[in-house]
Homo-oligomer: A and B are copies of this chain.
Amino acid sequence: MTPAAPESVRPHGVFAPVVTPFDAQRAPDAGRLARHCRWLVEHGVGLAVFGTNSEGNSLSVAEKIALLDALAENGLPPPRMMPGTGCCAFTDSVALTQHAVRLGCAGVLMLPPFYYKGVSDEGLFRSYAEIIERVGNDRLRVYLYHIPPVSQIPISLGLIERLLEAFPGVIAGIKDSSGDWKNTRAMLERFQPRGFDVFAGSETFLLATLRAGGAGCITATGNVNPGPIADLAAHWDDADADAKQSALDRVRAAFQSFPMIPALKRAIAHHSGDAGWASVRPPLVELSDAQAAALLEALEAADHAMPGVSARV
Contact = CB atoms under 8 A, between A and B. Distances in A.
A92 interface: yes
A115 B58 CA distance: 8
A286 to B, nearest CB: 10
A126 B57 contact: no
Interface stretch (A4-12, A59-67, A303-311): A59-67
A88 B120 contact: no
Contacts of A58: 88-90, 113, 115-116
Interface residues of A, number: 40
Contacts of A63: 89, 91
Given A58-B89, A89-B58, A285 B126 contact: yes
A59 to B, nearest CB: 5
Contacts of A124: 282-283
Contact of A127 (B119, B120, B282): B282
Contact of A283 (B52, B57, B113): B113
B123 A284 contact: yes
A149 interface: yes
A26 B57 CA distance: 24
A212 interface: no
A273 to B, nearest CB: 26
Contacts of A123: 282-285
A216 interface: no
Contacts of A115: 52, 57-58, 114, 150-151
Contacts of A90: 58, 281-282
A130 interface: yes
Most chain B CB within a 10 A radius of its CB, from A57, A112, A282 = A282
A152 interface: yes
B113 A282 contact: yes
A119 B150 CA distance: 11
Interface string A192-227: 000000000000000000000000000000000000
Interface string A10-47: 00000000000000001000000000000000000000
Nearest to A57: B115
A238 interface: no
Interface in A245-263: none
Contacts of A89: 57-60, 63, 281
A117 interface: yes
Interface string A60-103: 11110000000000000000000000001111100100000000
6 closest residue pairs by CB, A with B: A123-B283, A57-B115, A126-B282, A119-B283, A127-B282, A57-B88
15 contacts: A26-B130, A57-B113, A57-B115, A57-B116, A58-B116, A60-B91, A62-B91, A115-B151, A116-B284, A117-B149, A117-B152, A122-B285, A123-B284, A124-B282, A127-B283
Interface of A: 26, 52, 57-63, 88-92, 95, 112-117, 119-120, 122-124, 126-127, 129-130, 149-153, 281-285
